[in-house]
Amino acid sequence: MNKQWLAVAFGAWTSFSGVTTWAQTVNLQQAIDMSMSADPRIQEREQLVELARALLEEAQGNNGLRLDANLFVGLAPKVEGGFYQGGATSGTTPRNDAYDWKGLSDWTSLQFSIVKPLYTFGKIENYSDAARGNIDVKRQDVRLQRGSTVMDVSRAYYGYLTARDTRRMLEDVLSKVNGAISRVEKDLKADNGQSRQSDLYELQAKLGLLNKYLSQAQSVETVSLNGLKVLTGVGLEGKLEVSDESLKPVALPSASLVDYQGKAASARPELSQLDAGLRARRALVDAKKAEMYPNIYAGVVGSFAYASRRDTLDNPYVYDPFNHAGLTPVVGLKWDLAFDVVPARVAQAQAELDALLAKNRFALQGIPFEVAETYAKMQAYYKAQQDLAQGAASARRWMVASYADFNAGLEKPERVSEALKTYATTQAEYLLTVNDYNMYVAQMAKVTGDYK
């Protein structure tokens, strides 16, 4: 009997566990790792790299064999007999009845050429170099998108922790405000002189504001968690929890500003992207200039035609376009040149190169400034959150002591109200400042290229 109950219990547990979905708990790094494989924007950039590789294959493929063929079926004039008058195969007078109607014949014709470039004056080489540079540009686009995704995940993660801690703090303050309101209402009902009607109104007004801020915090908490679900690939209907119990400031990086600027100069994907872009643009300018020159090629050309109702002439000096066969190897030069268009294309490519050079000069100046700006804000917010941590701790001690004294009849209601307001304001500012500081640390990693 016990075994039967054990089997039933085990089956029930199995069925229950089969339909229960457990929330996945992640820390920030785990969330970032999940987003690297789940973010469609990264996948889009990766496919653009594949597109760039295909363009390189296309450029290199121009150095291979080329087939130009034209096969068709049509109608030709019917002709019988030989080359001489009356259709004779020998004689002295050629026939002159080319335009006399004798009927029609089916006609099958094929013209073709198979050629391979021998020398293109740098066209294929330069277009291939431009395509290689484009691949490197697209690769850096992948890195840039990964950096943006890291920032998005960090923003959602820290935003959720900030909103959740803010909600918890507001719920704590709200409980104390409600308690203070109840105490003031009792004092007013007892008419003991310890509370005034204006004290009740003041607390009720602050209660309305606190409820508004609580609703906002709940909204941000929900939106941030949903954003984190989307970024990590869990989906809006999925279950996800964060492992951090509360928002805490991350450790302050120890590197100096000079170290950060040096790292950015060597690791920023934008600089690698600009370098690859300049190589591609220079190669493209050279390729456009090479369009002024011909292509040297070798190959085979041939022409075949057959009309079933025309006699074949075997005279090597007489060519019948409707009935013949020919094949020969060739070496040649081929131009495809528009004299006024090619210089304009060269000018366009040169202008794009010059524009990229200007952008490169700006990046060389702007990136060190961006690093310095982020570094200054990171240091400032680190100091600010330390100061606010002390202020928020003191504000909470004031609130707790004041509230206890109020319940003991030793403190005035307005002083309790002020203590509650100061704690709520200071703690909220502390949480926002920690969030901003953590984001500046993440931003410092981004502006120095310290990401995958």
**Would you identify the CATH topology of the domain 25-63+121-294+338-447?**
Outer membrane efflux proteins (OEP) (1.20.1600)
Lowest mean pLDDT among 87-96, 162-171, 250-259: 87-96
Which of 221, 196, 56 is CA-nearest to residue 126?
56
Instruction: Tell me the mean pLDDT in the region 231-245.
Output: 92
Provide the pLDDT for residue 300: 96
**37 and 233 Cβ atoms separated by less than 8 Å:** yes
184 has pLDDT over 50: yes
Provide the pLDDT for residue 338: 76
The pLDDT mean for the chain works out to 88
Instruction: Tell me the mean pLDDT in the region 442-450.
Output: 93
Q: Which of the two residues, 254 and 341, has the higher pLDDT score?
A: 254
Instruction: Tell me the mean pLDDT in the region 235-264.
Output: 93
pTM for this prediction: 0.81
Provide the pLDDT for residue 452: 59
Q: Token digits for 153? A: 């995940």
Instruction: Tell me the mean pLDDT in the region 394-403.
Output: 90
Phi-psi region at 341: left, alpha or beta (left = phi > 0; alpha = psi -120 to 50)? alpha
Instruction: Tell me the mean pLDDT in the region 63-76.
Output: 93
Domain-by-domain residue ranges, the chain? 25-63+121-294+338-447, 66-119+296-334
Please tell me if the domain spanning 25-63+121-294+338-447 has the same topology as the one spanning 66-119+296-334: no
Lowest mean pLDDT among 156-170, 308-322, 345-359: 308-322
- Is the sign of the CA dihedral 162, 149, 443, 32 positive or negative? positive
- Encoded amino acid at 408, one letter: A
DSSP 322: T
Instruction: Tell me the mean pLDDT in the region 4-12.
Output: 39
Cβ contacts of 221 within 8 Å, gap of 6 or more: 160, 163, 164, 167
**93 and 282 Cβ atoms separated by less than 8 Å:** no
The domain 66-119+296-334: what is its CATH number? 2.20.200
Q: Could you give the CA distance from residue 232 to residue 222 in angstroms, rounded to a whole number?
A: 15
Lowest mean pLDDT among 7-11, 132-136, 316-320: 7-11
Which of 324, 328, 283 is CA-nearest to residue 136?
283
pLDDT above 70 covers what percent of the chain? 94
413-447 and 197-232 helices cross at what angle (nearest 10)? 20
Lowest mean pLDDT among 82-96, 116-130, 257-271, 336-350: 82-96
14 has pLDDT over 60: no
pLDDT above 90 covers what percent of the chain? 58
Q: Token digits for 89? A: 């195969």
Top-ranked range on mean pLDDT: pick from 88-102, 131-145, 348-362 = 131-145
314 has pLDDT over 80: no
Instruction: Tell me the mean pLDDT in the region 425-448.
Output: 95
Summarised one tens digit per residue, pLDDT across range 72-101 is 999 988 888 777 776 777 777 777 777 778
The β-bridge partners of 119 are 296
Provide the pLDDT for residue 8: 38
396 to each of 190, 248, 416, 418, how far by Cα in Å? Answer: 30, 17, 12, 12
**295 and 119 Cβ atoms separated by less than 8 Å:** yes
Summarised one tens digit per residue, pLDDT across range 273-296 is 889 999 999 998 999 889 889 999
